[in-house]
Amino acid sequence: MSNMQSKKSVIVAYLLWMVAGIFGAHHFYLRRDRHAFVWWTTLGGFLIGWLGEVFRIPRYVRDTNEDPKHMEEVAARMKKTNKPPFSMNRFTGMLMVGYSWAQMTMYAIPPDFWGINLKYLNLLVPLATGLGVWTVGNIGREQGCLKWAVIGAYIAYPVRYYVFDDSIWLTIMVIVSACLFDSYAKEWRRVPRKRRHVAKRVAILSLCCFLYIGLWCSYLYFHGTITDSEGDEIPIYEALHHFFTSPWWLDVKQCMAETYQYAQHHGWYEVWKQVVDLSDPHGEQNAYKVLGVSRDASQQEITSIWRKLSRENHPDKVKDEFARRAAQERFMEIQQAYEILSNSKHRRNRRNKKDNSSPAAVKIDL
């Protein structure tokens, strides 16, 4: 029964492929976590790999479900050849992912940080290349050790000191790494992977995604720029520094500190009530502004002001057609404001009584 429940569905796999396939959702569903992470970092293999999977998903499902007929075919291929044959799709994937990860690592390394020269961290670029090649090489029924992929990358890395075009020496390094892995490390995965709990799989993938996002953040922070209103480019790290010292941010920071102190004394519910009041859900604040009266005005005073404004702004007093239209809009605005304040007179009376009974109450300015 438990075996039947663990069977994966082709329909579900196709749905996930269509909805979030470029992020590897269908591969995660099929317990192909390495494939899922590769798709997530490259947006479905730069969309090319995602599109090419439209005919391969049924085979992925059969492999995950360990379909007897499919397993017989896999066993026959393993008996036929001692090691997996060369696959152009897999080799191209190793090149693309290895190049992508190496390039991202190189761009994420800052030239210096707090006066410390960090150029020596470029030695991590071949390691990222080897990891990309090794990850793709370990997808599915094939596997291989990381050693040869990393050795190949470090062997070719000195080319960068003779070839100054980044795209050329990165390509050479990835090709050497992939060739050594394909020649000396690649072998059949004859023993199935140990199945991990979903929580553990999510934790591992989350850690890998966090590290990759960290590379993006480092690249944007140290090498990214933004363009101001005058067309000048400003490094992001300088813009962030100036933002956190700007008067606007200091005012927001002070407001947040005062709000927190107020909440410590009166509770967060009181803060929430004041936020609701300041958002003016009933339109009272705007109505006070339209009629030109204060919040503590009595209903009699509001009625008196309303009658006065209604007489002064009545559209029948205006003969010009365009001026009459403006007067009519103003007149309707006055009527609406009076209606709002009239409907809320009981609520205003309760609020005024409460304010008079607790004169020491403190309001926060959000």
The C-alpha angle 123, 102, 39, rounded to 5 degrees, equals: 145
The whole model's pTM is what? Answer: 0.70
Q: Is 74 left (phi over 0), alpha (psi -120 to 50) or beta?
A: alpha
Which string of DSSP letters, residue by residue, matches 258-283? HHHHHHHHH-HHHHHHHHHHHT-TTS
Q: In the prediction, which pLDDT does 345 show?
A: 66
Q: Lowest-confidence range among 83-87, 123-127, 229-233?
A: 229-233
Read off the pLDDT of each residue in 51-80 and give the average, rounded to a whole number.
93
Domain count across the chain = 2
pLDDT(86) > 70: yes
Considering 80, 111, 132, which residue would you say is the last residue of a domain? Answer: 80
Considering 53, 80, 107, which residue would you say is the last residue of a domain? Answer: 80
Residue 253 lies inside a defined structural domain of this protein: no
Q: In the prediction, which pLDDT does 366 show?
A: 42
Read off the pLDDT of each residue in 229-246 and give the average, rounded to a whole number.
82
Q: Which of 109-118, 145-154, 280-289, 318-327 has the highest mean pLDDT?
A: 145-154
Cα distances (angstroms) measured from residue 9 to each of 29, 63, 66, 107: 10, 12, 13, 40
**pLDDT tens per residue, range 137-148:** 999 999 999 999
Average pLDDT over all residues of the chain: 87
Residue 1 lies inside a defined structural domain of this protein: yes
Q: In the prediction, which pLDDT does 234 show?
A: 84
**Pick the residue with more confidence: 51 or 280?**
51
Q: Lowest-confidence range among 24-33, 89-98, 181-190, 319-328?
A: 319-328
The rounded Cα 282 to chain-centroid distance in angstroms is: 36
pLDDT(354) > 60: no
Which string of DSSP letters, residue by residue, matches 116-181? EE-GGGGGHHHHHHHHHHHHHHTSTTEE--HHHHHHHHHHHGGGGGT---HHHHHHHHHHHHHHHI
Considering 40, 63, 80, which residue would you say is the last residue of a domain? Answer: 80
Residue 106 lies inside a defined structural domain of this protein: no
Range of the domain at 299: 280-352
Residue 149 lies inside a defined structural domain of this protein: no
Residue 55 lies inside a defined structural domain of this protein: yes
Residue 12 lies inside a defined structural domain of this protein: yes
Encode burial over 281-318: b for 16+ CB neighbours within 10 A, e otherwise.
Answer: eebbeebbebbebeeebeeeebeebbeebeeebeeeeb
Read off the pLDDT of each residue in 255-259 and give the average, rounded to a whole number.
88
Read off the pLDDT of each residue in 231-245 and give the average, rounded to a whole number.
82
